[in-house]
Amino acid sequence: MATSPTYVIIPLSAELAEELPPDPATRTEVLSIGLQQWRVRQALEAYRRGEGTLAYAAQQAGVSIRQIIPLAYAYGLSPKVDPAWLAEELSLDQATQL
């Protein structure tokens, strides 16, 4: 059973509104991508403040530990990662060290 859409009104600058794609499905995709990036940024900022491990940040962001490691570097963080860990699945002990 399909759920009915929820509508949200967000005030935007004229410039930003002009950049949005005209198609509603594409606008939804843009919003979804933006929310994912926002969750990653929030999780990495919490990690920067010492509020949990990198594995916890990945969980909060809704991404895998493998995905968040390069994102952490992109945000200027230096996670404690052994490159060998990237070749295989991380164990629980390894993840708790990040």
User: Going residue by residue through the chain (98 aa), what tens digit of pLDDT does each one get?
Assistant: 678 888 889 899 999 999 999 999 999 999 999 999 999 999 999 999 989 888 899 999 999 988 998 999 999 998 776 666 566 676 666 666 55
pLDDT for 66: 86
pLDDT for 76: 93
pLDDT for 80: 73
Euclidean distance between CA atoms 43 and 51, whole angstroms: 9
pLDDT for 82: 62
pLDDT for 79: 78
Question: HSE on the CB side for 12, CA within 13 Å?
Answer: 10
